[in-house]
């Protein structure tokens, strides 16, 4: 009973550290970046992963106006019906993704990164959270 | 007493193992009905790595090339929601220098300085719409005339409509700051005198 008091504290401290680690290591349902757009107009049919467009990356480099006015992107996910032919012809993504400003179309896997079967969506949008929270990416089981 | 300490240590180990096994069971915090601020992820979960963000396929080879959001966003002005970046401040402080024109890298923005005060019906302060911040990012044609008729009083809207992605909700709630930041829009210092009630 003559043990100094701090030793007991040390035990409690260890306990708390362990709990802290355990909590930190918990893998909860992580959320993709605000404004990430999943486009799956044709991807699933084409047997390729759907496209994820990260707004955050592009708005660091360009004002909204460049794409949404000059390049004619409509302000609605999936409404532009972009296909590879349009991109090859320099429309939409193809205005930059032509091998000069940004990587060109042969780098399929850099844009086509979403889980197969993910629906076209604005990930984490208010409407998705409040109105249709179950409308999140649910990968289809594909062979 | 050493025994006590040892037992405490063993107990803590057990707790940590238990914690890990719970995480292995994938108990989702969002599923907890009693979680505080259900829609606000804790700081640790903000700007998660692409491989675990829920929409990227972790097996996609592209993930090795793509930039991680945290790497890019942590150096910008902190925000309270969305990307946890205050984009307007970051632009003002020139932490980011986004091009205004694809072909002319030196094209300068000519922002429009016009504030529109919108009277609101509830107890919230009136909305002050600042053209300045918006024209730094956008062109007039992005909003006018398709989303907003460029005429005072011609645009009726409600928060419900905005939440459903109409009017301001075309951007706010998708890429621009979400509706949880009430006071960024409802920012009038004094309430305008109600004229509509008398009619």
Query: For residue B88, what is the enclosing H or E element?
Result: helix B87-92
Average pLDDT over residues A85-104: 95
**Structural contact between residues A59 and B98, judged by C-beta atoms closer than 8 angstroms:** yes
Q: What are phi and psi of A51, to 5 degrees?
A: -90, 140
In a domain, A12, yes or no: no
**Structural contact between residues B119 and B126, judged by C-beta atoms closer than 8 angstroms:** yes
Q: How far apart are CA B19 and CA A97, in angstroms?
A: 45
Q: How confident is the model at residue A104 (pLDDT cuts 50, 70, 90)?
A: very high
Q: How confident is the model at residue A124 (pLDDT cuts 50, 70, 90)?
A: confident
Contacts with A70 from chain B: Cβ below 8 Å: 101-102, 139
Q: How confident is the model at residue A131 (pLDDT cuts 50, 70, 90)?
A: confident
In a domain, A142, yes or no: no
In a domain, A98, yes or no: yes
Q: Which of A18, A93, A108 to mutate to test the interface with B (most CBs of B within 10 A)?
A: A18
Task: Tell me whether A40 touches chain B (CB under 8 Å).
Answer: no
CA distance B142 to chain A (A): 6
Q: Is the pLDDT of residue A4 over 80?
A: no
Q: How many domains does chain A have?
A: 1
Please list the residues that pair with A38 across neighbouring strands: A52, A121
Which residues form the domain of A122? Answer: 36-130
* CATH number of the domain to which A107 belongs: 3.90.10.10
CA distance A45 to chain B (A): 17
In a domain, A143, yes or no: no
CB nearest to B56's CB, from A34, A113, A130: A113
Average pLDDT over residues B166-185: 94
Instruction: Work out the mean pLDDT of chain A and round it to a whole number.
Output: 81
In a domain, A1, yes or no: no
CA distance B99 to chain A (A): 5
Q: Is the pLDDT of residue B177 over 60?
A: yes
Lowest mean pLDDT among A22-26, B100-104, B107-111: A22-26
Q: How confident is the model at residue A95 (pLDDT cuts 50, 70, 90)?
A: very high
Please identify among residues 97-116 of chain A the ones whose CB lies closer than 8 Å to any CB of chain B: 107, 109-116
Q: Spell out the domains of chain B, with CATH numbers in brackets.
A: 2-77 (no CATH), 78-191 (3.90.10.10)
Stronger pLDDT, B6 or A56, i.e. the higher one: A56
Q: Directed axis angle between helix B2-24 and helix A6-25, to 10°?
A: 10
* pLDDT tens-digit map of A24-69: 444 345 478 999 999 999 999 999 999 999 999 999 999 999 999 9
CB atoms near residue A80 (< 10 Å) = 18
CB burial of B25-39 (b: ≥16 within 10 Å; e: otherwise) equals eeeeeeeeeeeeeee
In a domain, A109, yes or no: yes
CB nearest to A25's CB, from B4, B20, B172: B20
What pLDDT shows up at residue A127?
A: 85
pTM of this prediction? 0.76
CB nearest to B165's CB, from A57, A63, A127: A127
B55, A127: Cβ pair inside 8 Å? no
Task: Tell me whether A126 touches chain B (CB under 8 Å).
Answer: yes
Q: A85: exposed, middle or buried (C-beta count within 10 Å: 0-12, 13-18, 19+)? A: exposed
* pLDDT tens-digit map of B135-166: 999 999 999 999 999 988 899 999 999 999 99
Q: Is the pLDDT of residue B58 over 70?
A: yes
């Amino acid at each position: 009973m003559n043990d100094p008091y701090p030793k007991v504290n040390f035990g409690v401290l260890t306990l708390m550290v362990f709990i802290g680690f355990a909590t930190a290591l918990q893998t909860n349902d992580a959320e993709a970046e605000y404004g990430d757009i999943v486009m799956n107009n044709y991807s699933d049919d084409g047997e390729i992963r759907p496209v994820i467009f990260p707004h955050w990356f592009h708005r660091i480099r360009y004002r909204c106006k460049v794409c949404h006015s000059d390049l004619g992107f409509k302000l609605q996910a999936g409404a532009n019906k972009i296909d590879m032919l349009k991109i090859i012809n320099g429309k939409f993504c193809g205005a930059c993704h032509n091998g000069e400003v940004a990587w060109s179309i042969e780098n399929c896997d850099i844009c086509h990164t979403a889980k197969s079967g993910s629906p076209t969506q604005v990930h984490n949008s208010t409407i998705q959270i409040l109105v249709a929270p179950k409308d999140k990416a649910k990968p289809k089981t594909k062979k | 007493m050493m025994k006590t300490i040892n037992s405490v240590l063993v107990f803590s180990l057990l707790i940590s193992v238990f914690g890990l096994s719970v995480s292995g069971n994938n108990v989702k915090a969002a599923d907890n009905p009693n979680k505080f601020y259900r829609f606000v992820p804790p700081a640790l979960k903000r700007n998660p790595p692409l491989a675990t963000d829920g929409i990227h396929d972790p097996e996609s080879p592209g993930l090795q090339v793509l930039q991680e959001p945290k790497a890019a966003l942590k150096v910008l002005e902190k925000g309270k929601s969305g990307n946890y970046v205050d984009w307007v401040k970051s632009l003002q402080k020139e932490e980011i220098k986004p091009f205004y024109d694809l072909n002319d890298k030196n094209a300068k923005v000519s922002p429009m300085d016009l504030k529109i005060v919108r009277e609101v019906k509830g107890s919230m302060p009136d909305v002050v719409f600042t053209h300045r911040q918006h024209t730094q990012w956008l062109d007039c044609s992005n909003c006018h005339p398709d989303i907003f008729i460029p005429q005072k009083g011609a645009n009726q809207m409600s928060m419900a409509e905005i939440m459903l992605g109409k009017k301001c909700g075309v951007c706010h709630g998708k890429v621009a700051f979400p509706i949880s930041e009430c006071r960024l829009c409802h920012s009038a210092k004094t309430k305008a005198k109600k004229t509509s009630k008398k009619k």
